A and B are shown apart, each in its own frame.
Chain A
């Protein structure tokens, strides 16, 4: 592997674990050593809502080959994300609230026996009315899903910043839109799996799982199994995609641990694709009512937004998601007044959760669509409208979010130029269109959901007789390249080759605690912690080199694995000699680096103000070119130009990959992905019916990296993995409007929806003609 220089223009390096993955050496959870493992399997609710009247597992328990059966009776503890909203049992007790909810589980000698045992479980449920839409669940006479949640509302948010009324009064144009976005799912390639090993002699539990949040898994297992945290070890194998699907602890993980303890052994649970969809935890179906005020020159005067999210049967991340939907209305543009009303609703469907672009995507979609419609009415160019509302860094938004670096203006310039927007807009042939939109995302939640007072990130760096540098991090590399980022941060800081650094990630017995892979926090927080640790090690080594070279510490530099005095060709020492000297002096060395977001980054004082708070935002602009087939009304995306301000690209190759991935995931939500329930049963629960784009839909994506050098970021970096997602759906809808002259209010933009919109327009035109003739 070649070394990189941060300042150089190198294109970056392949991910340090990439070769293992593409050559098949990488071991995912399902490939681990399962010798002697029992097979776990879950019995799931066949009904949407009801009281469990009778649950009889005796026949399953009696079946030959069944070693353990667990039910809700085995775990009286709830689990969840926010301490105030843990309202879910790993196995239902008394009540079930969605079809597919786990009720019992078995561990058996093989998969066939486990399946047979599941068939022997008898469960009687007294059915209650079930609600599949937000409106049904919010109806005045609706039965409550949770006793303490009247109106089936998990959380209402009402925020108002600035003088909204005055803002609208000052506007030349006020417009509203009602936009609805279908529920989508992460559809990560690797299905959920975990391997739990309980040793009855030591009372210790080892859990290997697909989790993005090993630390939270650790805490939840301790809570639900009433175990001491010191008896638990969480190990993260290779992970085949997360996107938020594993950003919270999942019921099957706790259930498998319960089974392993009951069976006093090792249990492997692999979920089917259908069970992955039932586990869900993805982006909720969302209805948005948006009102914007604008002056004739495109300057925004006020924004009023109502968001209703159909959150599914349990809280999960719900409060965070509904707060994000409002908080992230800000931070992208300068808006003088913002009012937000958010409603997180319970319904009898699989619980929603965090998904790439968490909380911000659907309201951003509505915002960018309405912005374009109003620009059109005012005969303003879409770029000009955005430019009229740029922020100026450093600043704080109305809701007290910190903006220290802001490359949106440059992102706009770059995609405008790359797409030849000015020459081409308005000149495309029939059926073709161009559209654009902007987006942003946090570089890590500045206030962790589970507050302990500890540093927000920690990295240990070890040095021993072998001369290799080992970075230990709890951060979960889920394919986004975080281990590579840590390796680069350490190698760059120390002045050694990248392959001199080994990264060990995600083993609670070895690596320091990390909050996990969510809210795009790792590069900013763990990156800074890694630099901090490497600096500490460097200072030890530099001191040692100074001593040996009889020079002043300030004059010592380490470049290309050689310690030198000054920059001239004076005395020098190879890295390994300095290491040996340091070890002789103090024995094996471990240093700890940390990072903590300062209080001023942690959000406003208003209720829920912590959500949205971050050290810095990434910014993105994109242009999408589409063609629409006039026979089938299907949209194809011909090309995408996207620019993202990630502060500084620590590894440009990985940044490019993450931007492409974000665009592509936005493409799925925009074009074809949606869940579809039949009385609470997922009709979409396969990779065939849940339509993730294929290679055939994947357009060429031209990526531009913008570097605004955040003053607090590691080497100036911010996040790069989510910011470009939310801009895609609105850019696509705006491009369809440009091509066909119709404004679509629903996602995804499937051919039947376009077809319907065209029919309605034809009908409206005919009606208008008739009315004109009559008048």
Chain B
């Protein structure tokens, strides 16, 4: 309940190499970009870094480039800048829609792409004040022994709730990461694992530099399930990228957020390729989502609803994307 921020040291490196070095130099440190997730969590006593490496002034991170090779979005690009980029709205619509659906205007102006991809997982037993969590006996994810959501289990089911990840995943994104060993590029999906306690599979001091997207012929869309039309995190979010040739599905990739501890690409959709999208295909999509989405009672809204609404949303936007492209 104290809600106070402790005394912290702020370091402001001006390039990526200096940021990595600073992270190493200050052992109890964290990267901070927009701070819209990190500061809230610090006020709740969920993390207590002694230093913050502010990466918001690194030029390399703040550019968007679009060319023959596709799209490169710097990790420091703000959600607002992404949301209003006209070429992204045209060619990668799901990303634009997801960006526009994040939080409120103030958060979008501050929040960044990198912060959004590295968002901590959320749970109604976890995103509470220190007083609250202490009165509740803490939990596995922080300071405690048990999980209040699944007390028999040994793992944390906190949900990943970033809106951008599914849009990027559906469009086949890769991330460029800078670390102690230099730079590397890996599929975005590889940085996540299904574990609410440690959902990021990159090293603590790895810095996400940029997201790369291949050029695409697929049309895409993002649908977000939430109680209010602004501010709310997704109860479930679905991105679909669908390519159509003639009347047949040429490519389809569906990705989800908000339901599991990581954002993920829906498995089993390849079977829909090469055929027109039929009612049966849409039913299959709903079934796949219902099977693979695993929402738990981490939100006030019921888990059952989140799963069904995710499935219905996947069906709806897939049908719409197909209708749009198949004459």
By a beta-carbon cutoff of 8 Å, the part of chain A in contact with chain B is: 44, 46-47, 99, 111-112, 115, 118, 272, 274-275, 630-634, 636, 672, 676, 678-679, 681-685, 688-689, 691, 693-697, 750-752, 755-756
Separation of A44 and B135 alpha carbons in the complex (Å): 10
Q: Are A751 and B132 in contact (CB under 8 A)?
A: no
Distance from B283 Cβ to chain A, minimum over Cβ atoms (Å):
14
Separation of A44 and B315 alpha carbons in the complex (Å): 48
Identify which of A47, A112, A631, A634 contacts B315 (C-beta below 8 A).
Answer: A631
Q: Are A684 and B136 in contact (CB under 8 A)?
A: no
Q: Contacts of B203 on A, CB cut-off 8 Å?
A: none
Q: Are B300 and A694 in contact (CB under 8 A)?
A: no
Q: Are B300 and A751 in contact (CB under 8 A)?
A: no
Q: Contacts of B10 on A, CB cut-off 8 Å?
A: none
Which residues of B in the span 199-238 have a Cβ within 8 Å of any Cβ on A?
223, 225, 227-233
Q: Are A696 and B228 in contact (CB under 8 A)?
A: yes
Distance from A348 Cβ to chain B, minimum over Cβ atoms (Å):
13
Q: Contacts of B227 on A, CB cut-off 8 Å?
A: 634, 672, 691, 750-751
| 15 A–B pairs (Cβ distance < 8 Å), ordered by A | A46-B134, A47-B135, A99-B135, A630-B312, A632-B312, A636-B229, A672-B228, A681-B136, A685-B132, A694-B229, A697-B228, A750-B227, A751-B227, A752-B302, A755-B308
Q: Are A683 and B308 in contact (CB under 8 A)?
A: no
Separation of A419 and B312 alpha carbons in the complex (Å): 33
Q: Contacts of A685 on B, CB cut-off 8 Å?
A: 128-129, 132
The 9 A-B residue pairs whose C-beta atoms are closest, nearest first, are A696-B229, A752-B305, A631-B312, A46-B135, A115-B2, A694-B230, A696-B230, A631-B316, A632-B309
Q: Contacts of B231 on A, CB cut-off 8 Å?
A: 688, 694
Q: Are A691 and B313 in contact (CB under 8 A)?
A: no
Further pairs besides A631-B309, A752-B301: 4, Cβ < 8 Å: A634-B227, A683-B125, A689-B124, A751-B301
Q: Contacts of B225 on A, CB cut-off 8 Å?
A: 632, 751
CB-based nearest A residue for B236 = A632
Q: Are A274 and B229 in contact (CB under 8 A)?
A: no
CB-based nearest B residue for A41 = B2
Distance from A100 Cβ to chain B, minimum over Cβ atoms (Å):
8
B4 interface residue, CB < 8 Å from A? yes
Q: Contacts of A688 on B, CB cut-off 8 Å?
A: 231-233
CB-based nearest A residue for B3 = A272
Q: Are B300 and A683 in contact (CB under 8 A)?
A: yes
Separation of A118 and B3 alpha carbons in the complex (Å): 13
Separation of A684 and B124 alpha carbons in the complex (Å): 9
Identify which of B4, B136, B223, B305 contacts A679 (C-beta below 8 A).
Answer: B136
By secondary structure, the B interface counts as: loop
Q: Are B300 and A684 in contact (CB under 8 A)?
A: yes
Separation of A112 and B4 alpha carbons in the complex (Å): 7
CB-based nearest B residue for A118 = B2
C-beta contact mask, B235-275 vs A, less than 8 Å → 1, else 0? 00000000000000000000000000000000000000000
Separation of A695 and B134 alpha carbons in the complex (Å): 35
CB-based nearest A residue for B233 = A688
Q: Contacts of A693 on B, CB cut-off 8 Å?
A: 228
Which of A46, A272, A631 has the most C-beta atoms of chain B within 10 angstroms of its own C-beta? A631
Q: Are A676 and B315 in contact (CB under 8 A)?
A: no
B87 interface residue, CB < 8 Å from A? no
C-beta contact mask, B1-26 vs A, less than 8 Å → 1, else 0? 11110000000000000000000000
Distance from A345 Cβ to chain B, minimum over Cβ atoms (Å):
23
Q: Contacts of B316 on A, CB cut-off 8 Å?
A: 631
Q: Contacts of B3 on A, CB cut-off 8 Å?
A: 272, 274
Q: Contacts of B223 on A, CB cut-off 8 Å?
A: 631
Distance from B186 Cβ to chain A, minimum over Cβ atoms (Å):
32
Distance from B206 Cβ to chain A, minimum over Cβ atoms (Å):
29
Distance from B95 Cβ to chain A, minimum over Cβ atoms (Å):
20
Q: Contacts of A111 on B, CB cut-off 8 Å?
A: 2, 4
Which of B3, B134, B148 has the most C-beta atoms of chain A within 10 angstroms of its own C-beta? B3
CB-based nearest A residue for B125 = A678
CB-based nearest B residue for A692 = B228
Q: Contacts of B230 on A, CB cut-off 8 Å?
A: 694-696
Identify which of B104, B129, B228, B313 contacts A272 (C-beta below 8 A).
Answer: B129
CB-based nearest A residue for B223 = A631
Distance from B302 Cβ to chain A, minimum over Cβ atoms (Å):
5
Distance from B236 Cβ to chain A, minimum over Cβ atoms (Å):
9
Q: Are B228 and A46 in contact (CB under 8 A)?
A: no
Q: Contacts of A630 on B, CB cut-off 8 Å?
A: 312
Separation of A99 and B132 alpha carbons in the complex (Å): 9
Separation of A631 and B235 alpha carbons in the complex (Å): 14
Which residues of B in the span 111-128 have a Cβ within 8 Å of any Cβ on A?
124-125, 128
Q: Are B228 and A274 in contact (CB under 8 A)?
A: no
Q: Are B129 and A274 in contact (CB under 8 A)?
A: yes
Separation of A695 and B131 alpha carbons in the complex (Å): 32
Q: Are B1 and A275 in contact (CB under 8 A)?
A: yes
Q: Are B134 and A750 in contact (CB under 8 A)?
A: no
Distance from A715 Cβ to chain B, minimum over Cβ atoms (Å):
40
Q: Are A750 and B124 in contact (CB under 8 A)?
A: no
Q: Are A115 and B135 in contact (CB under 8 A)?
A: no
Known: A631-B313, A751-B309. A678 touches B4 (CB 8 A): no
Which of A672, A679, A755 has the most C-beta atoms of chain B within 10 angstroms of its own C-beta? A755
Q: Contacts of A682 on B, CB cut-off 8 Å?
A: 132
Identify which of A46, A47, A634 contacts B131 (C-beta below 8 A).
Answer: A46
Distance from A648 Cβ to chain B, minimum over Cβ atoms (Å):
37
Separation of A634 and B224 alpha carbons in the complex (Å): 12
Separation of A636 and B227 alpha carbons in the complex (Å): 10
Q: Are A633 and B131 in contact (CB under 8 A)?
A: no
Q: Contacts of B1 on A, CB cut-off 8 Å?
A: 44, 272, 274-275
Distance from A59 Cβ to chain B, minimum over Cβ atoms (Å):
17
Distance from A31 Cβ to chain B, minimum over Cβ atoms (Å):
19
Which of A630, A683, A750 has the most C-beta atoms of chain B within 10 angstroms of its own C-beta? A683
Q: Contacts of A684 on B, CB cut-off 8 Å?
A: 300
Distance from B304 Cβ to chain A, minimum over Cβ atoms (Å):
8
Separation of A115 and B130 alpha carbons in the complex (Å): 12
Distance from A186 Cβ to chain B, minimum over Cβ atoms (Å):
18
Q: Are B4 and A44 in contact (CB under 8 A)?
A: no
Separation of A115 and B3 alpha carbons in the complex (Å): 9
Separation of A630 and B319 alpha carbons in the complex (Å): 14
Separation of A635 and B316 alpha carbons in the complex (Å): 17
Q: Contacts of A115 on B, CB cut-off 8 Å?
A: 2, 4
Q: Are B305 and A755 in contact (CB under 8 A)?
A: yes
Q: Contacts of A694 on B, CB cut-off 8 Å?
A: 104, 228-231
Distance from B315 Cβ to chain A, minimum over Cβ atoms (Å):
7
